[in-house]
Structures are given as structure tokens and as C-alpha cells.
Structure 1
Amino acid sequence: GPLEPLRAPHAYSPGEVRAVLSQARAQGLEVVPLVQAFGHMEFVLKHKEFAHLREVKMFPNALNPHKEESRALVKAMIDQVMALHEDVKWFHIGCDEVYYLGEGEESKQWLQQQDNTPEKLCLSHIKAVASCVASSYPGVTPIVWDDMLRGISEETLAESGVPQLVQPMIWDYAADLDVEGKVHLIEKYRRCGFSKVWFASAFKGATGVNQSLTLIGHHLKNHLQWLKVASNSPADVLEGIALTGWQRYDHFSVLCELLPVAIPSLAVCLQALENGGYSEKIKENVEKLLGMSNLETETFMSTSLGTFPGSNILTLVTQVSFYLKSSVDELLERNRYVTGWFSPYHRKRKIIHPIIMHHFQPDAVSLLSKWNAVVQDLQAAMEQVFHKCTVEEWMEENVHPSLQKLQQVVDDLDKA
């Protein structure tokens, strides 16, 4: 239908979605679908068919909340997702990081009217989307990210009617998360009328936009902080905790850690939550589950990288992340024969002393063949798990810059 331009080239078919859902049910997992309904709308608003629904004409991130068509678009997306998720209890409508809200032309006019504020504008759109979910799917509770709500006064929140319609998901991925601040925030949300809150932690995808290896220690600390928040809050207020594992910071950014790379982090964080903390005994349990002899949380130097599905990707990505760039730089930038006798000047003019070639050509050739073999293995392992375009993107970002530099030197040596 009209949403067809939004479909990814490798979108799951309805049959595949049903298979994933039945597999989840078999594992005792409850699925909560998420559809962005306000901010992070690049996947929709980048298309020319929908560009007229942008809050600010230049930027594809936020939806214009004044247009009837904006709400119809969100409803159509939610309806399509709900058609494949018959028995869900919760539905996440996003609504985080609505940058530039209030800066569009229609918003500016709306804000000139008495008593209108950006906060009220935000709440009215959340309310409209949540009401739409409530009326179409009476048994389903909408969830929203809480960052747009945090700074809004209790009075404004309470008067908006939003607390009766949604459950806020309080997200914070920091290792030094402010426990006291979170406890106060939960108390504030309770006073405004929210019956339940969710927490959102992260097991990957939160420590750097182009991070390739997961900082397990950071994520473990994040979960231990959330456990403190939970133990300092009323028992009946917490609905659940979502362990997020972002694959990109936003629609246009590069890939951060791949899922197979972060499985040990997920295992550590889940076990910490299950057991209310992390100890030597829990660490041993995680090692047994993953087939690892020694799991390091503070460095990337775990002695063996496991036998869990995808562990070969972790092993090879670790090699590439640690040694590819450094070994190529070592040869090309710190080897005196290269910097002194085979500089870009020499290479361009094909001037080289045969003795010098003898000194470093074998090293360059053997380094290239070593890395080509590793990269070939990694590519084959990734193709078992990811679509071709993801493999290509990861290779272009993380492998090609160094490997092509090395290849070029070897080619130039052959021609010299």
C-alpha cells in the first residue's frame, strides 16, 4: 500500500515474522513491537512521498504533529504491525529525541497562541497516538521513551491525560547512572498519575557510534546501577526492564557492535539481573553457558572466545579490531624502509632501491596474505548471519581502509 516506499530491501515477509514470533513464544519470550511515531522518523521522512510531513522542512527526523496526515501515517504503520502481532500486551510508540520540535512553521504559529508551549505540543501528539492505540486495540498498553517527559512539570504532565494512557520507559545507558536522580524521577512520575514505569538499560550499542567491540564492564555497571534503582523504588511500580542492544545510533549512522560480538555482554547483563548482582560464581556460570574459559569484563582479552552460535564472528572481529589497522600502520608508517625509501614520492615515480625492496617486500606480502585469509573467513561467517549489504557495509567501514592501503603498497612494489 502507501507505506511500500518504507520497506527495506530485505524486509521480513509476514511468514518470517510469524516464524520469529512462534520461536519467541516457544522460548517463553514476550514480544513488544516498536513503531517510531514522532522522533527518529528518518526512515519515513527521508522519502519524497512523505517529506511534506516533516516538522522542519530541512530535517527528516521529526514528524509534524499538526497535520491530520501525520496521524494517519502513524496509525497505518501501527495497524500493519498489529495485524501480525495478535496477542501483544504492550506496544512501544517511541517518541524519544524529538529534536527541533516547535521549530516548524505550523508549530511557531501554534506556539504564539496563549498558554501553548512546546511541552504541551509534545504531550498532545503522544496523547493522540496513545488514544489511537487504546481505541483500536483495547487490551494493549502503549509504552513511550521518557526523555521528552523528564523535564516537564508535574502539573503539566498530570493535566495532559497522558499518564492514564501510557507507561514511560526510563532509559539511561551510562555506567555511572545517577541512582538517586532516577528514584526521584520515578516518584515524580507516580505523583503525576503513571501507574507503572519500565527501565531501559543497554548491553551494546551505547558506548560509541562506531564501536566494534563491546565494553562488557560498562554495560555490567549500567545494569548494577539499575538494580540499585529498583531496590530503592516501590516494588509495584516497575513493569519490567528492556535490555536495549542498538545496531545504529540513528537511521543514517554507521553500524556499531554486531549482535554476535555482544552475546557475552548480553549473557553477563541478563545473569546480573537474574541474580541481583554479579559474582565469581555467576561469572563461571556465564563462561559455562558461552563455552569460554575466561571471560574478561574489563578488557577485550578473553582467552577463548566461546562456542556459542556466532562466536566465530566475535573471534574474527576481535582480531580485525585489534590488529588490522595497527599492523598495517606499523608497516607503512613506522617502518624506516617504507617511510625513507618507499614514500608516496618514490611510489608515484616508481623509483626504488632493490636492496630496500628486499628488506620489506616479504613482510608486506605476508601481512597482506595473512589479513586476506582472516577477512575471507570473517566474510563467510558474517554471510551466515547477515544480509549481503550489512556485510559489505561493515567491511567497507572496518576492513577496507587498512587493507586497501596495504594492497596498494604490494601492487606498487610489484610495479617498481
Structure 2
Amino acid sequence: MIFGQVIFLKVRRIIQFLICLLFIILILTVYSSWLLKFTNAKKIYDNALSKQTLNDIFSEQLGFGRSDLAKYIHLDLKGAPPKANKFYDSFFNFLQNLQMGVKGVLIEYEDTLPLHGNLANISHHAAYTKSDIALIQEAGKMHRIDIIPLIQTFGHLEWILKLERFKSYRDDLSLPTVISPCINETYILLEDLLQQTLDMHPNSNIIHIGCDEVSLKYSNPACNEASTSISEQYVNHIRRIVDIVHKIRPECRILIWDDILRADQFVSNKRLLNQLKGLVEPVSWNYFTEFDNNYKFSSAWKTFPKFFTNTWIASAFKGGLHRFSMKTNTSHHVLNNREWLSFIESSTFQKDSLSAVILTGWSRFDHFMPLCDLLPTAYPSLLHSLFMFNTGQYIVDDSIYNCNDLIVSVNKDARLCESLPGLSIWSGISSLSVLLRKIQNRLKILNTIAPPFNRKHSFIRRHEMHSRLSELKFLEKDLATTKQILNRRLMELYSDDVIEEWFELYLTPTGNEINTIFVEFALVDNITTWERRPLGH
């Protein structure tokens, strides 16, 4: 009897324990299910919020535009000028028929001008000829596109100061960037350069003299006896350049980059700015998608209109983001133009003196920098940036790879594509970019399968290696074919040296990586047995 009761109690406790355990399991299951759903829901919400935030940024329309504001397109020719007889007439015709407020172009010739006399043999070996410059002038006149030459006259004179014969002209003898204002030869050289430039541009009544990013050190031996401050010397130099220009062409308007003039030592020193009053027209440049408060609320915006009747602004449609880039980031540049449009309509900006906007298109960050963003890859950015400035609407679509869709997206006639030079280059580089991403993906996978340590010890999963190498071999053939096609297209618009440099920068490194992979993996291709760990011992 007692034994039976004991058995009964034990069984009952076991049953109770099992019921409790089952209940706990049920609770944990329900909780886990709820937690998973909550986590997924949170991820979905967070992703939706993130996407909504991006959509807000990209789709928010300003509700106003400045179609009335004159627009100039900056063409940076540093070391990579398009063929004059293949580009300018077509491009100017396109800008004229586009009817988006483009009044002219700002051409930064740098080392592409055909110079003579004391300046002979300092330009690019494949520089334009005088016939080319005349062709550009004629095309501008025919299509009502004003041409403003940009000639650096203080900093960014690397193309001249890098040469041995002009080494003594440097402000810092070890750096070929800034020309010394302490020697008279400087002004003889610059007058010769400006004279020849304006002679080749008889119809230009505006010139841009650069003068940005000048880091004056006064270290040329000729500056030892200089008694003026650096800021005073900067102003004195500009005044001398203005005198030279007006001596050559008295009524010529003179543009100057404003980054030095907006520094505190100028903005807070009215005496210095007063010496430039009415002589130059500052061009304020900023290529960021958002301007910081120091820029937005700079006292320069209130000060400049007191001394300068006309002011300009400069956004970017290409080359304003990375020093090294195969094609233009359209979104960045359109957002930069939107930021400018928003800013010039703010209460901070004194819009009464605003003359025009220059959409800059940089090819190199400076003379020594690599090529970035060949112009045809920037056509989407240029059109969408102009559309942004005219309407305040953001319509960037990175999936557009043909001209017809691009032109239609800005509400223009697709037949305009017929006059846009280098379209095949745009599509060719776009295709190459996609292919290179595929190749880099395969290279990354191969390096994951067999990182350098494994290759060093021939310790590799051969079956996966073979399939991945086969994929890479097919892509290598595609790369060779794509290069041949793109090379022919580039030859239509650029000289051999530009094409060679571009391929060396953007294609050769990947080709070298592929060759290295094939060489290293070939060494382990026939291995069918492997050593015990640790490897190499």
C-alpha cells in the first residue's frame, strides 16, 4: 500500500515536471516567434525609414528655379583637350539648341594654348594650333556661345613653373605652384601670356585670371627685402594683372576665384578690398552637396557687394568629388547645384549683384593629378544640373545609359542627341565600369577562396578554384574586347596620349591583378595531395 503511494507520488511529480517543462517550452517558443517578428518588423521599419530619408533627400523639389540666371559651362583642358575639329562645333550647337540658359563657356586652356616667342615650347606637345583656336572662336560665334578664357596668373602655374627655365620664377623654389610676385620677370612673362591669349580671343570681353588656392610663402630670395604683408602683396599682384589686362583690352571684365578674398584678413580689412573695388568680379566656388555654416554665414556675402558690382558663383557638374574617378557621380553634382540654388535664394545671399553661375567641369584637380571624369561621362550630370538650376527639380536616374532617354528626361527633343559629341564614349565607359565591377567581384571571391597565405602553401580548394578561374578567363576576354571597342571610340575625340593615360589609370591595374591571379594559381593547379597542418612546418 505504502509502496503504491510512493510510486503514485513519483509518477505524479514526473507528470507535473513534464507539464511545467512543456509549458516553459511553449512560452519560449511563443516568445522567440514574437521576438523574431519584432526584429524583422524593426528591420523593415528601419530600412523603410532609411529609404524614406533618402527618398526625401532625392525627391524633394525646391519649388523654384533660376532659368533667368546666365549659365556658363567650364571646360577644363588640362593635359586632355578634345580634338578641336571633332568637339566644339557640335557641342556649341548642342548647347544652343538645348535652350537651358547656357550663355557661354569658360575654357581653361592651361598647357594646350599654342604659344610662341619667349613662351614657345612650354605647352603640351599635342597642344592646339592657332587654327584650332580660331575654329573654337568661329564655332562660338556661329552658335552664340560666348567664350571666356581662363588663364591662371598666380597659383596653379605648375605647367610653366615645372620647367627648368622658369624654376627661378617660383615663390617657393622647391614647389612649382605659385609664381613669385617679387621679381619683375614674373610680370613680363604674365603679360606675354595674357597678350597672346587675348590676341587669340578677339571677341572675348571677359577673362578669368584664376588666383585660387594661392599659398604665398615669400621664400624666393628676391622677396628678402619685401616689406608688405602677404595679403597686401596678393592685392598688389592682382592690381598689376588687372593693369596688364586693361592695357591689352581696356574694356575687358576680369573674373577671379574668391577663396583668398573671402579669408578674414581681407573681409575684415576694408582698406584691402577697397583697392580692388570695381576692378574684378569674384567667383565664389563650392562643390559640396551641403554648405557648412562657416561658408553660409561668412561675412563675405555682406561685404562683397559693397566693393564689387558683379559677383558670380561656381558649382560643379564633373570632377568636383574624387581625384580619381572613371565616370561622373551624377547625384553628387546635381545635389551640389541644388544646394547653390537653395543658397542664392536665402536671406544670407545678396542676390542683387549676382551675374551668372559657372558649372565647372574639372578634368584634373591640378596639373600633376590624374585624369578624372572624361567629359562624355558627365553628360547626364550636366543636363540634370542645368535642369535643377532652371526648375529646382531633382530627376537623377542612374539607370539611363542612352542619350534619347536622357534628353527626354529633361523635357527636350531627343533629336538633340545627333549633335552631342562622344556619345559612344559615354556608353562605352559605362559598359566598362559594369564589367570591371564584375571582375573585381570575381577577384574578391578568389582571394576569399585562397588568400595569399593559402596560395603561399598551395593549400587551396581546387574544385572551386577551377570554376572561378574559368569565369575570370571569360571576363578577361570580355575586357579585351571592350577595350578594343572603347579605344576606337576614344580615338574619335582624344589624342593617343590621352587614351594611353586613361587606360593606364583605369584598366591596366585590373589587368595586372588578373595576370597575377593566373600566375599564382597556376603554381598549385596540379597539386593533388596536401601536407598536414601546421602549414610550412
Q: What is the TM-score of this pair, normalised by structure 2?
A: 0.66
Contact 1:337 1:359 in 2 (8 A): no
Aligned match of 2:281:
167
- Counterpart of 2:157 (choices 41, 49, 70) is 41
Determine if the alignment matches structure 1 residue 321 to structure 2 residue 433: yes
* CA deviation after TM superposition for structure 1 residue 354, in Å: 8.7
Map residues 322-401 of structure 1 onto 2, 5 A cutoff.
322-324=434-436, 327-328=439-440, 330-331=442-443, 334=446, 339=451, 343=455, 359-401=467-509
Aligned partner of residue 133 in structure 1, secondary structure? helix
Moved more, 101-110 or 352-361: 352-361
CA deviations over 1:142-168 (Å, ceiling 9, x no partner): 111111111113423334x21221111
C-alpha distance in structure 2 between counterparts of 1:56 and 1:257, whole Å: 31
Determine if the alignment matches structure 1 residue 181 to structure 2 residue 181: no
C-alpha distance in structure 2 between counterparts of 1:206 and 1:31, whole Å: 22
Aligned partner of residue 175 in structure 2, secondary structure? coil
C-alpha distance in structure 2 between counterparts of 1:220 and 1:312, whole Å: 23
Aligned match of 2:270:
155
Aligned partner of residue 396 in structure 1, secondary structure? helix
Letter in 1 for 2:204: V
Aligned match of 1:145:
257
C-alpha distance in structure 2 between counterparts of 1:230 and 1:197, whole Å: 12
Cα distance, 1:343–1:319 mapped onto 2, change above 3 Å: farther
Letter in 2 for 1:32: I
* CA deviation after TM superposition for structure 1 residue 97, in Å: 0.8
Contact 1:39 1:95 in 2 (8 A): yes
Cα distance, 1:367–1:22 mapped onto 2, change above 3 Å: same
Letter in 1 for 2:334: L
Aligned match of 2:92:
none
C-alpha distance in structure 2 between counterparts of 1:85 and 1:79, whole Å: 10
Contact 2:180 2:186 in 1 (8 A): yes
Aligned match of 1:72:
188
C-alpha distance in structure 2 between counterparts of 1:108 and 1:318, whole Å: 54
- Counterpart of 2:167 (choices 25, 33, 51) is 51
* CA deviation after TM superposition for structure 1 residue 411, in Å: 6.1
Letter in 2 for 1:334: L
Letter in 2 for 1:190: P
Moved more, 49-58 or 398-407: 398-407
Moved more, 217-226 or 98-107: 98-107
* Structure 2 unaligned residues grouped into runs of 5+: 1-116, 411-416, 526-537
Determine if the alignment matches structure 1 residue 292 to structure 2 residue 405: yes
C-alpha distance in structure 1 between counterparts of 2:402 and 2:515, whole Å: 40
Aligned match of 1:302:
none
C-alpha distance in structure 2 between counterparts of 1:368 and 1:289, whole Å: 25
Cα distance, 1:391–1:134 mapped onto 2, change above 3 Å: same
Aligned match of 1:220:
334
* Structure 1 unaligned residues grouped into runs of 5+: 298-305
Aligned match of 2:68:
none
C-alpha distance in structure 2 between counterparts of 1:319 and 1:353, whole Å: 32
Letter in 1 for 2:231: E
* CA deviation after TM superposition for structure 1 residue 231, in Å: 2.7
* CA deviation after TM superposition for structure 1 residue 322, in Å: 4.3
C-alpha distance in structure 2 between counterparts of 1:326 and 1:198, whole Å: 43
* CA deviation after TM superposition for structure 1 residue 219, in Å: 1.3
Letter in 2 for 1:88: S
Aligned length: 393
* CA deviation after TM superposition for structure 1 residue 335, in Å: 5.8
Map residues 267-306 of structure 1 onto 2, 5 A cutoff.
267-275=383-391, 277-278=392-393, 290-292=403-405
C-alpha distance in structure 1 between counterparts of 2:379 and 2:442, whole Å: 31
C-alpha distance in structure 2 between counterparts of 1:407 and 1:133, whole Å: 55
C-alpha distance in structure 1 between counterparts of 2:408 and 2:269, whole Å: 45
C-alpha distance in structure 1 between counterparts of 2:406 and 2:186, whole Å: 53
Moved more, 288-297 or 165-174: 288-297
Map residues 14-29 of structure 1 onto 2, 5 A cutoff.
14-29=130-145
Letter in 2 for 1:292: D
Aligned partner of residue 386 in structure 1, secondary structure? coil
* CA deviation after TM superposition for structure 1 residue 104, in Å: 3.5
CA deviations over 1:271-320 (Å, ceiling 9, x no partner): 22233x1156xx79xx89931279999xxxxxxxx985433322332343
Contact 1:341 1:352 in 2 (8 A): no
Cα distance, 1:137–1:413 mapped onto 2, change above 3 Å: same
Contact 2:435 2:479 in 1 (8 A): no
Map residues 246-261 of structure 1 onto 2, 5 A cutoff.
246-261=362-377
Contact 1:93 1:144 in 2 (8 A): yes
C-alpha distance in structure 1 between counterparts of 2:438 and 2:463, whole Å: 26
Aligned match of 1:99:
215
Contact 2:402 2:427 in 1 (8 A): no
C-alpha distance in structure 1 between counterparts of 2:328 and 2:177, whole Å: 27
Aligned partner of residue 243 in structure 1, secondary structure? strand
- Counterpart of 1:60 (choices 159, 167, 176) is 176
Moved more, 16-25 or 221-230: 221-230
C-alpha distance in structure 1 between counterparts of 2:406 and 2:134, whole Å: 37
C-alpha distance in structure 2 between counterparts of 1:328 and 1:158, whole Å: 53
C-alpha distance in structure 2 between counterparts of 1:224 and 1:108, whole Å: 47
Aligned match of 2:510:
402
Moved more, 220-229 or 205-214: 220-229
Cα distance, 1:311–1:345 mapped onto 2, change above 3 Å: farther
* CA deviation after TM superposition for structure 1 residue 410, in Å: 4.2
Contact 2:301 2:350 in 1 (8 A): no
Cα distance, 1:127–1:87 mapped onto 2, change above 3 Å: same
C-alpha distance in structure 1 between counterparts of 2:322 and 2:409, whole Å: 20
